[in-house]
A and B are shown apart, each in its own frame.
Chain A
Amino acid sequence: MCETCGCTVTPGNAHLAHETTGRPGATVELLHDLLAANDQVALHNRAHFDEYGVLAINLMSSPGAGKTSLLEATIEALQGRYRIAVIEGDLETDNDAARIRAHGVPAVQITTGTACHLDAHLVHRALHDLALAGLDLLFIENVGNLVCPASFDLGQHRNVVLLCATEGDDKPAKYPVMFRAADLVVLSKADLLGVLEDFDPVRAAEALRALGRETPMIRTATRRVPSLDAWLAWLEHEVSARRTLTTRRASPGTATAAA
């Protein structure tokens, strides 16, 4: 894909702008974001998604909250309506990518080895193995972890964080950086709420609101009593909003990002 753009990731020129001389003991005063290199590649990834009109969603949660199951159910429900692809992040194995491919959807597995999160570089590399043309939706399933993935922009348009009914309802208070990054919180395995009496959705919503965000929280279930309506409605809304934006950008008379 990068034959068209050349993949010339600009290293960010700001850090070369200072003019002080390097005499011993001299202090160079700076104001650099430490993750600037990652953020540059994330911008580059986002430019690719926008070029192809693909909505990219970064899916995050603790391990076992049901990210892959939600994706499997989503693919089945949206079959014939949206063209979907998935990037899977795991420390080891391509089990999750195999599960996705079994539903007839392209999936690229990133195995991070010991790394506890995906970063923009890893996603960029995965994009070389994925044709974006013709896609509507790209899910990036991050490594199951409520800490590290929150600090790394991948180039996604939306962050979705799963909060599983089998977890504590105080997870947003325990992992504020992650839940603050969420554009949508999905209360997964919600069909278990009836038997898991310790989890109070109202308390979870309060903990989420205490983070100073009006993040919507919806419920999903994929097993005994499937329930995906709110999730599919949210996705539909986001896909059509992205399309409108892309069309407006590409329409004649407006400047396109040709740089």
Chain B
Amino acid sequence: MHELSVCQSLLDEVTKIATSQGAGAVARITLEIGPLSGVEPELLARAFEIARAGTCAARATLSLQVLEIMVRCTECGASSRALPNRLLCAACGGYRTRVLEGDELRLRAIELDAPAARSAARAERRESGG
């Protein structure tokens, strides 16, 4: 189950971005997954539940957008939808195709929560004031 490795790599990336943005927590993470990426969306979602504990994404919603497979035929030039184990041209039936879409494993967007810098500053003020 390599989905856990993928999740850890996702959380590293998310933490880096949230820190650089001064955000304390992340509310939503949006991923794009192609069927040819080798990652099973359902397993990834389950791995995320485990891997997110103790990170800035501990309360984040994981939103998975599963993409379709699109191929372009290098013989006739047609673009068509395809299945993971049948990447043939729907127009001419040829097998000389190029995958246009469907092998992605992408972090698409992160919705940030309260910025850490500001809450840290507030805590500091409270401390020095009290």
Contacts and interface: CB of A to CB of B under 8 A. Distances in A.
Contacts of B99: 212
Nearest to A209: B95
Nearest to B98: A212
B128 interface: no
Given A25-B111, A150-B38, A176 B5 contact: no
A148 B2 contact: yes
Interface in B77-115: 82, 84-88, 95-99, 105-115
Interface string B3-18: 0011001101100111
B36 interface: yes
B2 A34 contact: no
A195 interface: no
A150 B114 CA distance: 38
Given A16-B20, A150-B38, A24 B85 contact: no
A28 B2 contact: no
A119 interface: yes
B21 interface: yes
Contacts, number: 131
B98 to A, nearest CB: 8
B27 interface: yes
A37 B109 contact: no
Range, interface on chain B: 35 or more
- B contact face: mostly helix, strand, loop, or mixed: mixed
Contacts of A214: 95-96
Contacts of B121: none
Contacts of B20: 15-16
Nearest to A177: B38
B1 interface: yes
Given A21-B21, A24-B114, A30-B109, A115 B88 contact: no
| Most chain A beta carbons < 10 A, residue from B18, B97, B98, B105 | B105
Given A148-B38, A212-B71, A24 B109 contact: no
A70 B63 CA distance: 44
Nearest 5 CB-CB pairings of A with B: A22-B21, A212-B87, A148-B2, A151-B38, A177-B38
